[in-house]
């Protein structure tokens, strides 16, 4: 299948930093821009030069230093913004001016207080001015998805004539769903003269309905060849489409998406971490691709599967996105297999009977403290008091002295547990010793 290249336009340093608590100073933007370069994005939108002297300096210094990707600066469709953007960008190896003007009636009437005719003229003049400075000009009709289609295409054709090289279609308020956004992009590509002029259609989706990535993928299928996105999905309100999710969706499902990017996926996690560290805003633990739990397995069933073969529960190898390794989190849903493995890593091996006893005590502890860490495991066998004040483990001495037998953990036999409905945790059946192949599978159901 022939594969098509998608341009990754990163707006972490512009739309991303517009989200509350995410703003960055000059040095922070420079550091992130170097990392975005390592990540392999095609366009870095470095800022909004008219917004502040700091942002001007950030765009200017990134333009001077980062030579491979296109460096872009945002400007409203007014001369002073465009001139300021060009002053910041003119030292770039590959500069781009990004001009935007709202086109929806809601914005024209209530925000800009201008007519459609005035909007059309302003867009044309702004792009002409930008083009007089710079060959690479992107135009965005803000609030495009709530704009009348006929008028939108009129504006887009006008800016193509004025020299725009990329038409970015923003779902500014995150109102779209994948089917209508895809159809919207398709209709635009059919109605405007982008193809004959070699103009690229781009998508810029906000996440108000949690659909920014899905909408972006729908746009690609409908003909968009540039996508605007941000690391960790940061951006105005609910954020922008998350770069890491778009890139990995394309990479993990080549059967569905015949599209490639030049992103170095191993740099996704380091970039995400650097951003969190810089702005002091963590991502939710269950965030796809780069969240703390994205490669963490807690249920005994899953841990057992992972230990047998990671393919059972992981569609992405952690190293592919730069995460050092999968983790098996020890908690009350964990099984013996994971517990034994963790003890082995800590240098302790136990025979089956010892492990049963240890596991019983581990579950009592896990029920109280949620996540059991290595130090707690060592406390359990070394005679120290654990946070639940259980007594130390009786076989500690022999295990530490290396006298434990090496009986296989998955010895066939009846399941170990009987769930006591009155107990807060399942109890070991009195006298049970041997536990079947299935126990970690059953545990945690």
- Where do contacts with ligand KIV occur on this chain (CB under 6 A)? 15, 100, 140, 142, 168, 170, 172, 204, 206
- Binding segment (CB under 5 A) for Zn ion, from list 13-21, 130-138, 292-300, 393-401: 13-21
The distance of closest approach from Cβ of residue 190 to ligand KIV in the complex, given in angstroms and rounded to an integer, is: 22
Please identify, using beta-carbon distances, which residue of 30 and 140 lies nearer to ligand KIV: 140
Q: Is 15 in the site for Zn ion (CB under 5 A)?
A: yes
Residue (of 37, 49, 54, 45) closest to 9 by Cα position: 45
Please tell me the distance from the alpha carbon of residue 45 to that of residue 71, in angstroms, as a whole number.
6
55: partner contacted, choices Zn ion, ligand KIV, none (Cβ within 5-8 A by kind) = none
- Binding segment (CB under 5 A) for Zn ion, from list 10-18, 161-169, 280-288, 327-335: 10-18
DSSP per residue, 8-64: EEE-TTTTGGGSTT----HHHHHHHHHHHHHHT-SEEEEE-TTS-HHHHHHHHHHHH
Please tell me the distance from the alpha carbon of residue 370 to that of residue 365, in angstroms, as a whole number.
8
138: partner contacted, choices Zn ion, ligand KIV, none (Cβ within 5-8 A by kind) = none
272: partner contacted, choices Zn ion, ligand KIV, none (Cβ within 5-8 A by kind) = none
The distance of closest approach from Cβ of residue 76 to ligand KIV in the complex, given in angstroms and rounded to an integer, is: 9
Tokens matching residue 276:
């969190």
If you count them, how many residues does the chain have? 445
The distance of closest approach from Cβ of residue 259 to ligand KIV in the complex, given in angstroms and rounded to an integer, is: 22
- Binding segment (CB under 5 A) for Zn ion, from list 8-16, 65-73, 94-102, 216-224: 8-16
Please identify, using beta-carbon distances, which residue of 171 and 439 lies nearer to ligand KIV: 171
Residue (of 420, 391, 395, 418) closest to 405 by Cα position: 395
Please identify, using beta-carbon distances, which residue of 233 and 322 lies nearer to ligand KIV: 233
Please tell me the distance from the alpha carbon of residue 439 to that of residue 430, in angstroms, as a whole number.
16
| Contact (CB, 8 A) for 294 and 323 | yes
146: partner contacted, choices Zn ion, ligand KIV, none (Cβ within 5-8 A by kind) = none
Please identify, using beta-carbon distances, which residue of 204 and 297 lies nearer to ligand KIV: 204
The distance of closest approach from Cβ of residue 30 to ligand KIV in the complex, given in angstroms and rounded to an integer, is: 22
| Contact (CB, 8 A) for 337 and 409 | yes
* SS3 state at 74: strand
Please tell me the distance from the alpha carbon of residue 400 to that of residue 347, in angstroms, as a whole number.
8
Please identify, using beta-carbon distances, which residue of 51 and 296 lies nearer to ligand KIV: 51
Residue (of 246, 253, 248, 244) closest to 283 by Cα position: 244
100: partner contacted, choices ligand KIV, Zn ion, none (Cβ within 5-8 A by kind) = ligand KIV
**Shortest Cβ contact with Zn ion: which residue?**
15
- Binding segment (CB under 5 A) for Zn ion, from list 9-17, 35-43, 214-222, 417-425: 9-17
Query: Binding-site residue total for Zn ion (CB under 5 A)?
Result: 1
Q: End-to-end distance of the chain based on CA atoms, in angstroms? A: 41
| Contact (CB, 8 A) for 301 and 317 | no
| Contact (CB, 8 A) for 257 and 286 | no
Please identify, using beta-carbon distances, which residue of 15 and 158 lies nearer to Zn ion: 15
Please identify, using beta-carbon distances, which residue of 228 and 439 lies nearer to Zn ion: 228
The distance of closest approach from Cβ of residue 23 to Zn ion in the complex, given in angstroms and rounded to an integer, is: 15
| Contact (CB, 8 A) for 318 and 308 | no
Please identify, using beta-carbon distances, which residue of 139 and 257 lies nearer to ligand KIV: 139
Please identify, using beta-carbon distances, which residue of 68 and 111 lies nearer to ligand KIV: 111
All residues at 6 or more sequence positions from 369 whose CB lies less than 8 Å from its CB, including other chains: 376, 387, 388
Residue (of 41, 12, 32, 435) closest to 261 by Cα position: 41
The distance of closest approach from Cβ of residue 100 to ligand KIV in the complex, given in angstroms and rounded to an integer, is: 4
The distance of closest approach from Cβ of residue 195 to ligand KIV in the complex, given in angstroms and rounded to an integer, is: 22
As beta bridge partners, residue 10 has: 44, 229
| Contact (CB, 8 A) for 436 and 414 | yes
Residues in contact with Zn ion by CB under 5 A are 15
């Amino acid at each position: 299948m022939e594969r098509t290249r998608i341009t990754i336009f990163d707006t972490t340093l512009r739309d991303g930093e517009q989200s509350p608590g995410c703003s960055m100073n000059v040095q922070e933007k420079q550091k992130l821009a170097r990392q975005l370069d390592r990540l392999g994005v095609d366009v870095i939108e470095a800022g909004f030069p008219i917004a502040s002297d700091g942002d001007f300096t950030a765009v200017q210094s990134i333009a001077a230093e980062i030579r491979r990707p296109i460096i872009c600066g945002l400007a409203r469709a007014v001369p002073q913004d465009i001139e300021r953007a060009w002053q910041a960008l003119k030292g770039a190896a590959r500069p781009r001016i990004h001009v935007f003007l709202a086109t929806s009636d809601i914005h024209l009437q209530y925000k800009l207080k201008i007519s459609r005719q005035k909007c059309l003229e302003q867009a044309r003049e702004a792009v002409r001015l930008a083009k007089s400075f710079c060959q690479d000009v992107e135009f965005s009709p803000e609030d495009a998805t709530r704009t009348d289609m006929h008028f939108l295409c009129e504006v887009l054709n006008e800016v193509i004539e004025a020299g725009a090289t990329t038409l970015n279609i923003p779902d500014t308020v995150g109102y779209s769903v994948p089917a209508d956004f895809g159809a919207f992009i398709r209709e635009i590509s059919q109605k405007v003269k982008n193809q004959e002029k070699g103009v690229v259609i781009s998508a810029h989706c906000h996440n108000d309905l949690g659909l920014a990535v899905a909408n972006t993928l729908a746009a690609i299928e409908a003909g968009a060849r540039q996508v605007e996105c941000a690391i960790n999905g940061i951006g105005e309100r609910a954020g922008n489409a998350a770069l890491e999710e778009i890139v990995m969706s394309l990479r993990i499902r080549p059967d569905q998406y015949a599209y490639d990017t030049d992103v170095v996926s191993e740099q996704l996690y380091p970039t995400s971490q650097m951003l969190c560290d810089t702005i002091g805003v963590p991502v939710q633990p269950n965030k796809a691709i780069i969240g703390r739990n994205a490669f963490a397995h807690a249920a005994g069933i899953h841990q057992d599967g992972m230990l047998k073969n990671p393919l059972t529960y992981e569609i992405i190898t952690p190293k592919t996105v730069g995460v050092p390794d999968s983790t098996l989190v020890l908690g009350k849903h964990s099984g013996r297999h994971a517990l034994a493995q963790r003890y082995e890593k800590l240098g302790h091996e136990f025979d089956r009977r010892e492990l049963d006893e240890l596991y019983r005590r581990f579950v009592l502890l896990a029920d109280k403290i949620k996540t059991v860490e290595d130090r707690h495991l060592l406390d359990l066998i070394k005679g120290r008091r654990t946070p639940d004040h259980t007594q130390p483990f009786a076989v500690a001495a022999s295990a530490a002295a290396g006298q434990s037998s090496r009986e296989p953990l998955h010895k066939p036999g009846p399941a170990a547990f009987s769930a006591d409905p009155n107990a807060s945790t399942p109890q070991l059946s009195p006298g049970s010793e041997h536990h079947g192949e299935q126990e970690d599978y059953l545990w945690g159901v």
